Amino acid sequence: MPTSPLRTVLSLPVLVAALGYFVDVYDLLLFNIVRVPSLTELGLSEKDISLIGGRIYNFQQAGLLLGGILWGILGDKRGRLSVLFGSIITYSLANIACGYVQSAETYAWLRFMAGLGLAGELGAGITLVSEILPRHLRGYGTSVVAGVGLLGAVAAFLTVSASGNWRLTYLIGGGLGLVLLLLRVSVFESGLFRQVQQTTVRRGNFGAFFANRDRFLRYLRCMGISLPTYFVIGLLATFGNEFGKALRIAEAIIPGKCVMYTYIGMVAGDLFSGVFSQWLGSRRGAIGWMMAFTGVFVVVYLSGLIGSASLFYLVCGLLGFGIGYIAMFLTVTAESFGTNLRATATTSVANNVRATTLLSIPAYQSLKTLPALGPLGAGALVGAVCFGLAAWSLATLDETYGKELDYVE
């Protein structure tokens, strides 16, 4: 008796990948949510919370950047499952250690190690799901992974709010990762990877992206289409308190709430974009519409039209919905490269985009000091660059909907 499409989409590997991304997002976003209270407890001033907080965040993003390359290479050389096991041990132990941190310097290095471990989760999960699902169901499966996974941000905020103890939330996050490790034991390896493993084809060669012009441009375009996502998450949501002051909103804006509402929107957006892509029969079309929707609400966010905290949080939610094509751009990346480079591409692209805050945050912090710009003008300039590059990438990207993945580079 043939398996129903719903059962295929909700198979054990898809659900375990979704839960893995849930824990990934929970642990990754914890610093964004507890940045202010944790650094206040460590004795930092309001000015230092912004500057040193940005530095610690960039340590985490640097870990993601390095880890994206390392885990991606390992995923193509040793298998997708080896990454899912190794990464979860690394970030779980790092997050548990964050619960006992006593200095900003130690905090920064622990967030680097957490970022290094977290870098392997999403890319390897999307690669595995893309390879095991039939091509006509691929978009649904990756959307389930992203939709369930992004709820981790909501869980993180609610855990922080309920416990009132930022140290405890790090311990909970690390514990969740170790529990998830047990579920991973029953997940099987990708058949496409096992086939390539039996050949002499060179796997996991990161330099291959730079040795061929077509391959290099494909790689850049997959990164480019995702730039608006971390502009919204890493800048507009994370520094919502600064933008709220610039907008002269009477009630203090809480960055953790901005992150939570943004991720609630992303859950809905990622579930929608997968179905939308299947209905359109186009990855590019779905991403284009989501990107345009995001652009409209970035303008609203920075225009000075928002006059209350409730409206500010609502716009954060709508921005989150607009950038809810994270699963889609990673699916496009997985579909754009052969099996011997697929994990390297997908994992590194996922984390290169996260690590764009290494450039966008310092750029924003430098530009906002200019009297003619301030936070709103600085945010607008950084956003214009991100959306400009994303539009070029999308316009020149090949359509990958329904593409057969049984090939090598």
Q: Which of 188-192, 277-281, 314-318 has the lowest mean pLDDT?
A: 188-192
Farthest CA pair distance, the chain: 69
Q: Which of 79-93, 292-306, 313-327 has the lowest mean pLDDT?
A: 79-93
Provide φ and ψ at 175, rounded to 5°. Answer: -65, -40
Contact 152, 176 (CB under 8 A): no
Mean pLDDT computed over every residue of the chain: 89
Cα→Cα distances 241→31, 294, 359, 406, Å: 15, 20, 20, 48
Contact 190, 131 (CB under 8 A): yes
Rg of the chain taking only CA atoms, in angstroms: 20
Cα→Cα distances 226→67, 138, 196, 393, 403, Å: 18, 19, 29, 9, 20
SS3 130: helix
Tens of pLDDT along 215-242? 999 999 999 999 999 899 989 998 999 9
Q: Average pLDDT in the 257-266 region?
A: 88
Which residues have a Cβ under 8 Å from the Cβ of 64 and sit 6 or more positions away?
A: 115, 116, 118, 119, 351, 354, 355
Q: Average pLDDT in the 292-296 region?
A: 97
Q: How many CB atoms lie within 10 A of CB 33?
A: 26
In this structure, what DSSP letter does residue 127 have? Answer: H
The residue type found at 212 is N
The residue type found at 255 is P
127-131, 159-163, 167-171, 180-184: which has the highest mean pLDDT?
A: 167-171
Residue 255: pLDDT above 90? Answer: no
Sequence ranges of the domains in the chain = 13-183+211-396
Question: What pTM was estimated for this model as a whole?
Answer: 0.82
Q: Average pLDDT in the 42-71 region?
A: 86
Which residues have a Cβ under 8 Å from the Cβ of 165 and sit 6 or more positions away?
A: none
Cα→Cα distances 114→151, 164, 226, 227, 229, Å: 19, 22, 22, 22, 21
What is the CATH number assigned to the segment(s) 13-183+211-396? 1.20.1250.20
Q: Retrieve residue 213's tokens.
A: 């012009």
Q: Report the pLDDT value the prediction gives residue 3, as an integer from 0 to 100.
A: 62
Residue 275: pLDDT above 90? Answer: no
The residue type found at 109 is W
More confident residue, 154 or 108: 108
Residue 21: pLDDT above 60? Answer: yes
Alpha helices in 42-137 (DSSP H): 46-77, 80-98, 104-118, 121-132
Q: Which of 53-67, 89-103, 375-389 has the lowest mean pLDDT?
A: 53-67
Tens of pLDDT along 188-217? 778 788 888 888 888 888 999 998 999 999
Q: How far apart are CA 28 and CA 72, in angstroms?
A: 18
Q: Would you place residue 2 in the very low, low, confident or very high pLDDT band (cuts 50, 70, 90)? A: low
Q: Would you place residue 152 in the very low, low, confident or very high pLDDT band (cuts 50, 70, 90)? A: confident
Q: Average pLDDT in the 326-345 region?
A: 91
Q: Average pLDDT in the 356-383 region?
A: 90
The separation between CA 258 and the C-alpha centre of its own chain, rounded to angstroms, equals 16
The residue type found at 349 is V
Residue 288: pLDDT above 90? Answer: yes
Q: Average pLDDT in the 260-267 region?
A: 89
Residue 1: pLDDT above 60? Answer: no
Contact 136, 277 (CB under 8 A): no
